[in-house]
Amino acid sequence: MTVLDEIRRLEPEFRAEEDLSAEQRSLTGRAFTFMQESGLMRGLQPKRWGGAELSLREHLTAVYELGRIAPSAGWVAGVMGSHPWQLALFPEETQAEIWESDPDWNASSSYAPTGKIEPVDGGYRVSGRWSFSSGCDHAQGVILGGFAGKVEAAPGVEVPNYGSALLHRDQYEIEDTWHVRGSRGTGSKDIVVADAFIPARRFLSSPLYEYNPDRPAPGMETNPAALYKVPWAVMFNLVLVAPMLGLGRRVLDDWTSDTRVRKANWGGTYADDPLMQMHLAEAEWVHDAAVMKMYDAIDTITEAAEAGVHLDKRQRARLRWNVTKGCQEVGFAINKLMRAASGRTVFVDHPLHRVYQDVIAELGHAFLVSDGVGRYYGAALLDSSAPEVML
């Protein structure tokens, strides 16, 4: 069976854990175990370390499906399921350190540079607070984003040295700050680091390989597959887009089921209302278009990596714009449906209540806000300038 088949087979089990995950504000242990047993959490892990090394299309299709089945689990799978891909870019010694004894080793993350990463002899000192670390209760470590001084990314080009610091579980605390209405089951709590040392091999500098197509990230030497050569920013966008669009599919399905049998005050059902019919048709069109844009981006970065082609900033901006704009439009379409839904959707036990809150929460992620990357892409088309965005 494929990973997608396993996710579908486990649908009743995932659904059964949704309420408790939301109640305890973190995925249940059973839900996370199902994610591991399906093979999804090792989908992007190199085969030589016990992973499946799936194609990006196959992996993200499974993430999309889990986003439909159980939105919080889908979100955590999208985020944490991408980390084996990034860990495969770290030096070989780091890969061996985490996977040699435990192929299931994984990390949560928080990439916004809100803490401090200071270069010191032999490595870095890490301290501060990072928020929104989805799935952190189930992780053996964490990947934290930050600036570690400056680095010469190319001859004469000095840029802030943004990168990812990898910490083990005994180097930080989890602070339970996740008191929210949407995406409650993701357990996206705060990571607090007092003063942790990491060796140089556990810091991955993004500019060093993103500015230099001919200089691979350290792990690319031992993991040469095209999968590990796709651009980080587009990749990270896609692992959020897939569960978000799966959630959109869930809302459309639940709204349709509810409206099909919803009684109208004047007799009959709302299924016969032309306005409802048109709203649903429009929402389905928007969702399908967004999914097509997602797969276009997946295929574009995969084919480029397989051909050894480096996508320039304009090309990457187009892909990020397409997928974030798609999610935004799905959100607008869902808002339109919810305005036409029953007033009873405000009750917490209504089937549409929680999933709508999830939509609002997921679309609040910085990498699903389309405005900045849209402006950058438009400016690039006009040979003009716009503020830099992560590409």
Instruction: Answer whether 40's CB lies under 8 Å from 78's CB.
Output: no
Enter the DSSP assignment of 112.
S
Q: pLDDT, tens digit, for every residue of 228-270?
A: 999 999 999 999 999 999 999 999 999 999 999 999 888 888 9
| CATH architecture classification, 3-87 | Orthogonal Bundle (1.10)
Percentage of the chain beyond pLDDT 70 is 98
What are the two backbone dihedrals, phi and then psi, of residue 27, each rounded to the nearest 5 degrees?
A: -55, 140
- C-alpha 316, offset from chain centre: 17
CATH homologous superfamily for the domain 230-381: Butyryl-CoA Dehydrogenase, subunit A, domain 3 (1.20.140.10)
What are the pLDDT digits (tens) for 6-48?
A: 999 999 999 999 999 999 999 999 999 999 999 999 999 999 9
Amino acid type, 334: I
Query: How high does pLDDT run on average in the chain?
Result: 95
pLDDT tens sequence across 38-89? 999 999 999 999 999 999 999 999 999 999 999 999 999 999 999 999 999 9
pLDDT at 54: 98
CA separation for the pair 386, 5 (Å, rounded): 44
pLDDT digits (tens, 9 = 90+) for 107-135: 999 999 999 999 999 999 999 999 999 99
Cβ–Cβ under 8 Å, residues 164 and 143: yes
Tens digit of each residue's pLDDT (9 = 90 or more) over 155-188? 888 889 999 999 999 999 999 999 999 999 999 9
Output the six-digit token pair for 3. 């990973």
Supply the pLDDT for residue 157.
81
In whole angstroms, what is the distance from residue 307 CA to residue 211 CA?
A: 18
Burial classification of residue 341, based on how many CB atoms lie within 10 Å of its CB (0-12 exposed, 13-18 middle, 19 or more buried): buried
Q: Where in the chain is the domain with CATH 2.40.110.10?
A: 107-219
Average pLDDT of the segment spanning 199-215: 82
Query: Position of tokens 């016990």?
Result: 50
Q: Where do the CATH 1.10.540.10 domains begin and end in the chain?
A: 3-87
**Cα 71 from Cα 81, distance rounded (Å):** 14
Tell me the pTM: 0.96
Per-residue pLDDT at 389: 84
56-69 vs 11-24: helix axis angle to the nearest 10? 60
Residue that has been written with the tokens 């949407």 in this structure = 182
CATH 1.20.140.10 range(s) for the chain read: 230-381
* Start-to-end Cα distance in the chain: 35
Distance between CA atoms of 347 and 349, rounded to whole angstroms?
6
Helix 351-363 to helix 71-80 angle, to the nearest 10 degrees? 30
Give the whole-angstrom CA distance, residue 166 versus residue 226: 23
Per the CATH hierarchy, to which homologous superfamily does domain 107-219 belong?
Butyryl-CoA Dehydrogenase, subunit A, domain 2 (2.40.110.10)
Residues forming a β-bridge with 205: 163
